[in-house]
Amino acid sequence: MKPLQEMSVAELEKAIRRHNDLYFKQAKPEISDEEFDLLVERLKRLKADSPVLEEVGSDLSEGSGKKVLHSTPMLSLDKCYTVEDLADWASKLKGDVVVSPKIDGLAIAIHYDETGRLFRSETRGDGTKGDDITQNVREVGDVPERLAKGPIEVRGEIYMRLSVFKKKYQDNFANPRNLAAGALKQKDPKKTAEYSLNFFAYELIGMDLKEEIEKIRHLKKLGFTTIDTEVVPNQPEKLQAAYEEYFKKRDSLDYELDGVVYKANQIEDQTRLGASSHHPRWAIAYKFQGDAAQSVLREVEWSVSRTGVITPIGIIDPTRLSGASVSRVSLHNYGLMKNMGVSIGAKVLVMRRGGVIPNLEEVLEKTKKIVEAPKKCPSCGSPTEVRDDFLFCTNGKGCRSTRLGELRHFVDVLEIEGFGDKMIEQLYDTGYVEDLPDFFRLKRDDLLSLERVGEILADKLIAQIQAHRTVPLPLFLRSLGIPELGKHSSEVLTKQLRRLEKIREASEEELSAIHTIGPVIAREVVNGLREKSGTVDKLLQFVTLDERSLAKEGKFSGKTFLFTGKMAAMERGAAEKQVEALGGEISGGVTKDLDYLVIGSEGYKNRDKGNKWIKAESLMQKGAAIKILSEEEFLQMLESSPD
């Protein structure tokens, strides 16, 4: 296989499809979990909307086996590899977090009828439908055949205990996860029983509860073996401590785990954050990633980011991780570094995660030379201050490193090629580019005055700038470098409000009411746009905003759709793709700007009004021009015109 950085999008998609099939369907993996995750993360960066990403995790068997439609999608978990990404996710929650180990097994759903009798079970499959494994699951010892009450659906993980695997199978099979996958899909259920599989329950559907932890308590009462679960305060150091605890004890557990799962404890949080087509936004897996090694910490350097945060970088004795020599490791942030007791000369455990700079996982042996925070910014010499767990430069707007980071971020997001770090440093230090709009003021002679810039390069750079004078609104918003205003938030705001003027005028309350935005993102966006209002005004003198959605042109152009309820003629995902192919957009929720709410055939026929239907009618009574359609009416629209 080619080196990761040299693979094209097409090569990545082909490799991911192949290795997904080998792992999830054939149980014959050829690469490690870490290598597969790196392929997926690389494709996400190059082509976030690749359809192959929707296939990752599918274990749906081909052929004539019976397929079962899930009651609700069995989505994958989003993944992160750093405490910063975990903290970013957690910042969107209002309440505490439920933490549990991520079992390396097979996700299944088990259904119990009104009398409490087990009547159906299926694999996760492609998330929408799975393989019927009812008879095989009856042979798993700790799956109850009957419950005290129903109807209830229980989801969890089938796995093989490490003690069973080591005793009976390790000489002939690669790992317990692949063996369990094969055992669960035996044609003769009695053969499944011979493998001594087990089941951990973690999800309960069919009961109206207010907290995630209540599901675990009810599952225990019903007789299920549940995953070890605890409620942790939503604080970065507490969340990281939970990860470290599982990392330390994973070798002593009787099951394989490849990370830690974090979920919003409050069901209200879960409802507010919702889900993408691939994963719930209220849950995330913090993965154990890559090789680990011991070394000695010799020095700590401090790096200033574009947001003014000063982060510590550890210099260690060179050690080999994943085939490469490593001498620099991330020390996360000042607060976590301090809590871990990082000291010069300490013996440390480091791990490479996600193919990026390795992280310090644990201080194994401390010394008395505790690392203290610098009193002055290493870039500009201004005083520093600690806010929560983070160390900041107090001269954020004037700090050289912060300004360089903002300029770097701007050209990266807009994909203005040719402006590397050295080039940006020269432009900043000579005064040619001190703020974002200055890129568009550059002249050929300005560039020719710089070191190692000839006429050909200068012409190319000017041509690149000229080619980016029309900017799609989502990219424009992202390029400003406002915290929380990333790809997803920019797309959502563009779809909902459509014009920069409306986004700039919106209040925190108005933005937080938009599905998946919430109060944290709303506050950062409102404050960020206010602080950068001067920069935005100047940029608009040079660039033209394309305020259209990134959707295709077609007969649904300018129209927003939202689907709810079970579809009869096609799956919801297919219906959404039809809309987007015809120029329409899929809304993140029911708002006054929604054009069409499409109700699945069965729900519409039975007048089974869910929350979306009720909310749409409420908005219609207040003057919103929402149209509620049956699935059949939507299909007629596909054949005719949107009107």
Residue pair 65/26 in contact (Cβ under 8 Å)? The answer is no
Q: pLDDT (tens digit, 9 = 90+) per residue, 309-365?
A: 898 999 999 987 755 678 888 887 888 888 888 999 999 988 765 444 578 888 889
Q: Which residues touch 79 (CB under 8 Å, ≥6 apart)?
A: 37, 259, 284, 285, 286, 287
Tell me the two tokens of residue 431: 């005064």
pLDDT of res. 587: 76
Buried b (16+ CB within 10 A) or exposed e, 493-525: bbbbbbebeebeebebebbbbbbbbbebbbebb
Of 39 and 416, the structure prediction assigns the larger pLDDT to 416
Given a cut of 90, whether residue 213 has pLDDT beyond it is: yes
Residues with catalytic annotation? Answer: 102
pLDDT in tens, 256-302: 888 899 999 999 999 988 887 778 999 999 987 656 778 999 999 99
Indicate the domain borders of the chain.
4-55, 67-273, 292-393, 400-468, 471-546, 560-639
User: Reduced to 3 states, what is the DSSP secondary structure of residue 111?
Assistant: strand
Which uninterrupted H or E stretch holds 333? none
CA distances from 612 to 210, 574, 603, 626 (A): 20, 20, 12, 12
Dig out the tokens for 570 from the structure.
């096609």
Q: Calculate the average pLDDT of the chain.
A: 85
* Cα gap 547→495, rounded to integer Å: 10
- Of 410-424, 477-491, 600-614, which one has max mean pLDDT? 410-424
E runs forming strands in 212-291: 230-232, 257-264, 283-287
Amino acid identity, residue 54?
A: E
Whole-number pLDDT of residue 536: 95
Give CA–CA dist 202/77, Å, rounded. 14
pLDDT value at 24 more than 90: no
The CATH class, in words, for 560-639 is alpha beta
Range 471-546: architecture per CATH: Orthogonal Bundle (1.10)
Residues with Cβ within 8 Å of 35's Cβ and at least 6 positions away in sequence, in order, are none
Contact 36, 287 (CB under 8 A): no
Place 26 in a pLDDT band, splitting at 50, 70 and 90.
low
Calculate mean pLDDT across residues 610-635: 87
The rounded distance, in Å, linking the Cα atoms of 134 and 187 is 11
Share of the chain above pLDDT 70, in %: 90
Q: Which CATH superfamily is domain 400-468 in?
A: 5' to 3' exonuclease, C-terminal subdomain (1.10.150.20)
CATH of 67-273 given 3.60.21.10, 3.40.50.300, 3.30.470.30, 3.40.50.2300: 3.30.470.30
For the stretch 71-104, pLDDT in tens is 888 888 888 877 878 988 998 898 999 999 998 8
What's the pLDDT score for residue 27?
Answer: 55
- What value, to the nearest 5°, has the Cα angle with vertex 533 and ends 532 and 539? 90
**pTM, two decimal places:** 0.46
Q: Are 219 and 204 in contact (CB under 8 A)?
A: yes
For helices 9-20 and 33-46, give the axis angle rounded to 10 degrees.
140
Biggest CA pair distance of the chain: 82
Q: Cα–Cα distance between 400 and 306 in angstroms, integer?
A: 9
Domains 4-55 and 292-393 share a fold: no
Report strand pairing: 198-205 vs 152-159.
Answer: antiparallel
SS3 of 512-560: the string is HCCCCCHHHHHHHHHHHHHHCHHHHHHHCCCCEEECCCCCCCCCCCCCE
Tokens of 377: 């910014």
Distances (CA, A) of 221 to 224, 227, 472, 510, 544: 7, 14, 54, 42, 61
Q: Can you give the pLDDT at residue 483? A: 81
443 band by pLDDT with thresholds 50, 70 and 90: very high
pLDDT average, residue stretch 64-77: 81
pLDDT at 636 over 70: yes
pLDDT band at 421 (very low <50, low <70, confident <90, very high): confident
Beta partners for residue 564, in sequence order: 599
DSSP helix/strand/coil, 127: coil
What span, in angstroms and rounded, lies between the C-alpha atoms of 195 and 176?
A: 10
Which CATH code fits 292-393? Answer: 2.40.50.140
Residue 404 and residue 303: Cα distance in Å, rounded? 12
Tokens 């003014």 correspond to: 308
Mean pLDDT of 47-55: 72
| 143, amino acid identity | V
Among 116-120, 155-159, 175-179, 563-567, which is the least confidently predicted range?
A: 175-179
Q: Report whether pLDDT(60) > 70.
A: no
Residues 6+ apart with CB under 8 A from 60: 25, 67, 123, 125, 126, 129, 130, 131
Taking 70 as the threshold, does the pLDDT of residue 524 lie above it?
yes
We find that the CATH architecture of domain 4-55 is Orthogonal Bundle (1.10)
The H or E element spanning position 602 is helix 601-605
Give the model's pLDDT for residue 59: 56
How far apart are alpha carbons 573 and 355 in whole angstroms? 32
Query: How many residues in total does the chain contain?
Result: 643
Spatial neighbors of 45 by CB under 8 A, at least 6 apart, are none
Instruction: Indicate the pLDDT class of residue 180, thresholds 50, 70 and 90.
Output: confident
For 128, 300, 418, 627, 643, the CA distances from 368, given in Å and listed in that order, are: 56, 15, 47, 69, 75
